[in-house]
Amino acid sequence: MQKAMKDSKNETVQALYNCCQCCFSALETILQYLTRNAYIEVAMFGTSFCQGGAQAFKLLTSNALRVAAINSVGDFVLFLAKVLVVACSVFLGFYLIDPKPGVQHLGVPLTIIGLVSYFIAHCFFTVYEMVIDTIFLCFCEDCEINDGQSKPYFMSTGLMEFIDDSNRQLRVGDAHA
């Protein structure tokens, strides 16, 4: 079906094909994100994949603003870290290769250095992204299970202060509404 729609000369069919491709791409991205968080829930509680996925979905939807903030800031910081690693690698490569005689086209080895360093940085920072997601889900579980008074939080003091500050701001925002 994909081959027939892709090679069609009809503009309506092409538009429908592009719309379906966009929707399926978005669905795939969402499912990958939910699957990763479901595996985190399975690792934390030892439940089945479906139960972990349902719990992860519930946590993510109940903390949607926090998810958006953590993901946007986290992705930006990780992107800057990747750019920094690639820039430093290419800069170092430039100074290590430049004085060598016989190197006529400096762009080729520097491009290879940049691509390899990006691949390595991407693999390395993907682990950090998974750690950020795991800590965030643990934070959400801790907030949901414990109340901080009769059941103390397991999170660090810095996270507790963050919770208190955000709760105060929410209460102030509710008073103004």
| pLDDT at position 177 | 47
CA–CA separation, 145 and 151 (whole Å) = 8
Q: DSSP characters for 38-106?
A: HHHHHHHH---HHHHHHHHHHHHHHTHHHHHHHHHHHHHHHHHHHHHHHHHHHHHHHHHHTT-TT---T
Read off the pTM.
0.71
CA proximity to 159, closest of 131, 134, 133, 138: 138
Q: Give per-10-residue mean pLDDT for the chain (177 aa).
A: 71 82 91 89 90 90 84 90 96 82 80 96 93 88 82 80 67 54
| pLDDT at position 91 | 95
| pLDDT at position 144 | 85
Q: Do residues 140 and 63 make contact, with C-beta atoms less than 8 angstroms apart? A: yes
